[in-house]
């Protein structure tokens, strides 16, 4: 782990994660692997009791907004513990899904990902070593980052409207759609969890 990496586990703060794939590879292009990311987020909710506020799964990175406190606790859970659990779940189950896809198609969905799968790189990493973790303690910044998540698929040209990208929290907030992954935030400020 980089020695200058600093994380601030401050009581009452929300965390905004940006976690990118190794070499910007499009690991999350396939919906089965997007579902594994959803499962990892759901596991954080059930195992640690955190308040999930928002997310978006892009082909080559993930953004997550969370209040990293167990329900009723004033003490935050170490972000490093949550990140490790999330990355390990996605890495392990994601590689299993990639192997299954390979067995069926004898390649992956992009030449760069197929090259990743066939080279002898030690450990075949899914994630970049370092991500971006940003503390939020103002309501305006929370709304800005949540909107950023929801607009990301439009900005990248994946869809024309946010509601057409099912792999974000937009549909939950806009339509009350709980089908993929319900959020925990009730839009109150400050967050009472």
Q: CB-based contacts of 71: which residues, under 8 Å, 6+ apart?
A: 49, 51, 193
pLDDT band at 7 (very low <50, low <70, confident <90, very high): low
What are the angstrom distances between the C-alpha of 164 and each of 34, 91, 146, 174? 15, 27, 17, 12
Question: Is residue 60 a part of any domain in this protein?
Answer: yes
What is the predicted pLDDT for the residue at 8? Answer: 83
Question: Is residue 4 a part of any domain in this protein?
Answer: no
Question: Is residue 180 a part of any domain in this protein?
Answer: no
Q: What is the CATH number of the domain that holds 87?
A: 3.30.70.1290
Question: Is residue 58 a part of any domain in this protein?
Answer: yes
Question: Is residue 166 a part of any domain in this protein?
Answer: yes
What is the predicted pLDDT for the residue at 158? Answer: 98
Rg of the chain, C-alpha, whole Å: 17
What is the predicted pLDDT for the residue at 132? Answer: 87
How does pLDDT run across 44-75, given as a tens digit for each residue? Answer: 999 999 999 999 999 999 999 999 999 999 99
* The dihedral sign for the CA sequence 48, 54, 58, 63: negative
Range of the domain at 23: 14-116+127-175
- 87, pLDDT greater than 60: yes
Q: Phi-psi bin for 102: left (phi > 0), alpha (psi -120 to 50), beta?
A: alpha
Question: Is residue 145 a part of any domain in this protein?
Answer: yes
How does pLDDT run across 123-140, given as a tens digit for each residue? Answer: 789 999 878 899 999 999
Question: Is residue 192 a part of any domain in this protein?
Answer: no
The whole-number average pLDDT for the span 35-45 is 98
- 192, pLDDT greater than 80: yes
What is the predicted pLDDT for the residue at 41? Answer: 98
How does pLDDT run across 136-163, given as a tens digit for each residue? Answer: 999 999 999 999 999 999 999 999 999 9
**Tally of structural domains, the chain:** 1
Between these two residues, 115 and 122, which has the higher pLDDT value?
Answer: 115
Token readout for 105 is 């198609």
Distance CA 73, CA 127 (A): 30
Question: Is residue 84 a part of any domain in this protein?
Answer: yes
pLDDT band at 1 (very low <50, low <70, confident <90, very high): very low
């Amino acid at each position: 782990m980089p020695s200058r990496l600093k994380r601030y586990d401050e009581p009452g703060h929300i965390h905004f994660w940006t976690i990118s794939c190794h070499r910007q590879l499009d690991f999350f292009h396939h919906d089965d692997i997007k579902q594994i990311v959803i499962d990892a987020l759901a596991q954080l909710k059930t195992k640690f009791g955190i308040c999930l506020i928002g997310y978006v799964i892009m082909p080559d990175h993930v953004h997550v907004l969370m209040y990293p406190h167990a329900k009723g606790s004033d003490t935050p859970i170490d972000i490093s513990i949550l990140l490790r659990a999330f990355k390990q779940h996605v890495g392990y189950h994601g590689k299993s899904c990639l192997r299954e896809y390979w067995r069926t198609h004898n390649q992956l969905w992009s030449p760069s990902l197929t090259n990743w799968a066939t080279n002898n790189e030690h450990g075949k990493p899914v994630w970049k070593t370092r991500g971006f973790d940003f503390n939020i303690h103002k309501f305006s910044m929370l709304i800005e980052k949540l909107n950023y998540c929801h607009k990301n698929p439009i900005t990248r040209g994946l869809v024309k409207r946010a509601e057409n990208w099912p792999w974000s929290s937009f549909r939950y907030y806009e339509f009350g759609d709980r089908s993929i992954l319900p959020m925990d935030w009730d839009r109150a400020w400050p967050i009472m969890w």
